[in-house]
Amino acid sequence: MNNEKGGLTYRDAGVDIDAGDELVERIKPHVARTLRREVIGGLGGFGGLFAVPPGYREPVLVSGTDGVGTKLKVAFATGRHDTIGIDLVAMCVNDIAVMGAEPLFFLDYFASGKLEVATGEAIVAGIAEGCHQAGCALIGGETAELPGMYPPGEYDLAGFAVGVVERSLILDGARITVGDAVIGVASSGLHSNGYSLARKVLLEQLGLPLAEVAEDLLRPTRIYVRALRAVLKSCDLRGAAHITGGGLVENPPRILRDGLALRLDERSWPLPALFARIRAGGPVAPPEMRRTFNMGIGLVLVVPPPETQACLAACESAGETAYPIGEVVAAAGEPHVQFV
């Protein structure tokens, strides 16, 4: 379709500016429910403005960025896009929250070959819900329509979060010592990791109908911000690890000093049925399961042993289920995780 002067338009090339404008209008109510008092201005500027909250003596900004990975493939196949935005926020805010930070604001990047306004609104509504759960403001983002880059019905999604922590209260695991107790906070399922292997086993090798496993595969990642804030107020939290890519094998050592290891008792928490199904259906060996999936533990906390019960109670008060799952032990060489 040519414009009134007879020349080509951007729409002729596959980019619909009007659709983008409509999406911005539709998402404004979703964004509004995430606003904090520190937000300056609104949507539409070249950058989002956010004032550092008062009360910090030495505020340190903490940032994290991530995507959703091949979990998007499940959203494409089912046509369900309302929860994938929660995953996006969770993957970013959990990473900064385990460093002791309070998430302040979030920005997203949403790119598709052709902008479908209803799909875009569902995605951003999920992002806003994730921000609401995390207590941070959605202050901006980018919607890109890139003809030829993505197949019809597909898109990519990424984002980043910024938080703040008092310099003296940064959680870096430096105070973790032999004998400390390890608490595991339950995941809601796969979260947003290991989907390439999960889809291969469930949909290809076992040949299960997508409809049979869609609820399990699309269940959104838990956002642990409230639980972490509750634990920080109630306990001497010495370290925390978000269990994402690399599973229980590669994430906990990121908070340990050389000469330390976590000894985890896998009998101390229930293995969700979905993980057992993947393990048997592969079959997938236990070491590969542990380094690919969270195995039912989405967050690991380290506290002095006398504070175990207070930590468990704080998690429960924030709506999470937690278990004592192990201890910190002395070990030769690089930090690692032992399973018993």
Could you report the per-residue pLDDT of 267-277, keeping only the tens digit for each?
999 999 999 99
Same domain membership, residue 286 and residue 215? yes
Q: Is 195 exposed, middle or buried (0-12, 13-18, 19+ CB in 10 A)?
A: buried
Query: What is the maximum alpha-carbon separation in the chain?
Result: 78
What are the structure tokens assigned to 26, written together?
A: 């539709």
Same domain membership, residue 208 and residue 133? no
Least confident span in 2-6, 29-33, 255-259: 2-6
Same domain membership, residue 143 and residue 264? no
Q: How many domains does the chain have?
A: 2
Domain holding 84, by residue range, is 17-169
Q: What is the CATH number of the domain that holds 93?
A: 3.30.1330.10
195-217: pLDDT as tens digits: 999 999 999 999 999 999 999 99
154-200: pLDDT as tens digits: 999 999 999 999 999 999 999 999 999 999 999 999 999 999 999 99
117-148: pLDDT as tens digits: 999 999 999 999 999 999 999 998 999 999 98
Same domain membership, residue 245 and residue 101? no
Contact 63, 94 (CB under 8 A): no
By C-alpha distance, which of 320, 267, 324 is closest to 301?
324
What are the structure tokens assigned to 193, written together?
A: 């990791």
Which of 169, 196, 224 corresponds to the end of one domain?
A: 169
Residue 278, pLDDT > 70, answer: yes
Strand 49-50 versus strand 39-40 pairing type: antiparallel
Same domain membership, residue 141 and residue 278? no
| Cross-sheet strand order for the sheet of 155-166 | 59-67, 155-166, 102-112, 137-145
pLDDT-derived band at 5, boundaries 50, 70, 90: low
Q: Is residue 1 situated within a structural domain?
A: no
Q: Strands (DSSP E) along 214-340, which ranges?
A: 239-242, 260-264, 297-303, 322-330, 336-339
Q: Is residue 225 situated within a structural domain?
A: yes
Q: What is the CATH number of the domain that holds 193?
A: 3.90.650.10
Over residues 305-317, mean pLDDT: 97
Same domain membership, residue 186 and residue 164? no
Same domain membership, residue 330 and residue 194? yes
Q: Is residue 11 situated within a structural domain?
A: no
Which of 128, 144, 169 corresponds to the end of one domain?
A: 169
